[in-house]
Structure 1
Amino acid sequence: MERKSSSSMRLPPAVQAAALAAVGGSRLQKEFAWMSWAGTVWRLEGQSGAVYVKRAGDLKDERDRTVWLAGRLPVPEVLGLFGGFGDDWLLTRAARGVPLSDPSLGWEPSRVARRLGEILRDIHALDAAGCPFGERKLGHVLIHGDYCLPNVLVVDGRLSALIDLGLAGLGDPQDDLAAGVWTLQYNFGPGHAREFLDA
C-alpha cells in the first residue's frame, strides 16, 4: 500500500456534487490517501465532515457487500456508486477510528495481534443467514475477505469500522486467518501469529 499527501485528481461532476452534498460547503479539500491492488482512494474534507472516494475498475461488489453488512457490522455508509464501464467511483462517509496498523495507537504488536484475533472471532461468529455473497458450504462462515490491519479501525480499542469489503461474504474462515497471520508478519515481523490465532 502506497501513501502520499496530495494529488491533483479530478472528480467527475456527479461525484463532486454528491461529496459536497455530504460534507457541506462549496469546496472540497482533497488528500490522496492510498493506492493498492484494490484501487486508488482519496479523502475529501468539507465544512462538516469527510468522505472517501475509491476509484477502480468495478466497485459494484464492494458497494453491494458494504450495504448488506450495514447493521450487522460497523461499516462505512455508502453514499453512491458512479461511473461504470470499467471505471467506477465509490463514495462513502468517512468512518471513525484508527487502523490497527497505525503506530499512533501506541500498542505493542502482541496487543494488536490479540485484538485482530478477537475481532475476527466475532466476525466469524455472526449469523450469516441470508448472505447472498460467496458460497454456502459446510464450514463456511461470514468472512472479511481481505482481513489485514489497515482494514480494521478501532476507537478506544473497540471495533469502529471494517473497510475494503469487496471480497466479504460466505467463505472459508482459513482465508481470513491466513490473511491475519500475513498482515502481522508484514507489519511487525515473525512471532505474533500465536496471539492472533489463540484469541
Structure 2
Amino acid sequence: MLELAGAPTGPVDVPETVLAALADEGVVNPELTAVWQNSVGGLTFAVRPERGAGEPHLFVKWNPLSSGESLAAEADRLGWLAGIHPVPQIVALAATHGDEALITHALPGVSAVDPRWQADPNTALRGLGEGLRKLHELPVDDCPFDWGVRHRMITDGIPDGAVPEAPPIDKLVVCHGDPCAPNTLLDTSGAFLAHVDTARVGAADRWADLAVMTLSFEWNYKNYDERVFWDAYGVAPDAERIAYYRALWNAGE
C-alpha cells in the first residue's frame, strides 16, 4: 500500500479493463498517461486521442475491487451532482469480476496541487475555500447519501471507543467526504472549477470536510497562510471539531 496518493514515479501498466472501456466508446489506440495513483492502488489516466494531441479530452479512473473503494458509488454521486454542482460528466462505467473503470470528460483546469498552484499556495487555498463553501451550500435535505459519524464508523470498521464521542453537529451539509486538496480542480486564474473523487459525498457536519481539507494542506503545500482558506470559506476555525474529525479520519485509514 502506498503511504500517500500522488503521481506515479515509474512505469504503469494500463489495465485491460481501461482499454476495453475506451474501445467500447470508440477510442482506439489512445495516448494514455498515468497521472495519479491512490493509496489503495487505484489509477487515473489522462486520455488523448492520439500522440501529441494537446490537452486530455477524457480521464479514466481504474480501481481493483479488492481495494474497498467503489467507482460505482462515485458514478452514483456524480450523477446526482450533475447540474447542481461542478463535477466531471460521466461517459461510461465498466466493471468486471475484479475491477472497475470510470470514464469522464476532461474539464479545462488542473488539480489544486498542480506544480503551478504549489508555487502559489495562497491562491490555491482561496479556490479550495470557495469550492467547499459552494458544495456546502447545496440543499442538504435533497442529498440521498450519508457520510455521518455513525455511517462512517460502520462502513470503515471503526470500533466503538476508538474515537471520543462526536461533538454536536454545527451545520449539516453536503460533504465531499474526501476533501483533500488534490480533489479540487482550479481554473487558469486559480478560482474553483470542480470537485472530483466524489465516492464519499454525503450529508454530514461541515467540519468533517473542513478538518480534513485543512489537514491536507500540510501534505501538499509549503509557506501558505491557512487564514486565506478560512476567509474564503467564511468561518473561523473550531479547534474541538477539527480535532475530532481528524481523529475520526485517521481511525478510518
Q: Which amino acid aligns with 2:21?
A: V
**CA 16–112 in structure 1, closer or farther in 2 if over 3 Å, else same:** closer
Unmatched segments (≥5 aa) in structure 2? 150-168, 233-253
SS at match of 1:96: coil
Measured after TM superposition, the shift of residue 68 of structure 1 is 0.7
What aligned pairs does 1:1-199 form with structure 2 within 5 A after superposition? 1-4=5-8, 7-12=12-17, 14-21=20-27, 26-37=28-39, 39-46=42-49, 50-56=57-63, 57=65, 58-105=70-117, 108-134=120-146, 139-155=171-187, 156-189=189-222, 192-199=225-232
Q: Which amino acid aligns with 1:37?
A: S
Q: Hey, what's the Cα distance between the residues in 1 that align with 2:6 and 2:224?
A: 25
Q: Which amino acid aligns with 2:195?
A: L
Q: Hey, what's the Cα distance between the residues in 1 that align with 2:59 and 2:230?
A: 32
**CA 135–147 in structure 1, closer or farther in 2 if over 3 Å, else same:** closer
Task: Report the aligned-residue RMSD.
Answer: 2.6
Measured after TM superposition, the shift of residue 10 of structure 1 is 3.8
Could you state the TM-score of these two structures normalised by the residue count of structure 1? Answer: 0.84
Mark the structure with the bigger radius of gyration. Answer: 2
Could you state the TM-score of these two structures normalised by the residue count of structure 2? Answer: 0.68
Q: Which amino acid aligns with 1:162?
A: H
Q: Which deviates more from structure 2 when the two are superposed, residues 127-136 or residues 71-80?
A: 127-136
**Contact map agreement 2:147 2:177 (CA 8 A) in 1:** no
Q: Hey, what's the Cα distance between the residues in 1 that align with 2:24 and 2:105?
A: 11
Measured after TM superposition, the shift of residue 60 of structure 1 is 0.9
Q: Hey, what's the Cα distance between the residues in 2 that align with 1:172 and 1:3?
A: 31
Q: Hey, what's the Cα distance between the residues in 1 that align with 2:7 and 2:147?
A: 34
Q: Which amino acid aligns with 1:72?
A: I
Measured after TM superposition, the shift of residue 197 of structure 1 is 2.1
Which has the larger strand fraction?
Answer: 1
Q: Hey, what's the Cα distance between the residues in 2 that align with 1:14 and 1:68?
A: 26
Which has the larger helix fraction?
Answer: 2
SS at match of 1:115: helix
Give me the identity figure in percent: 31
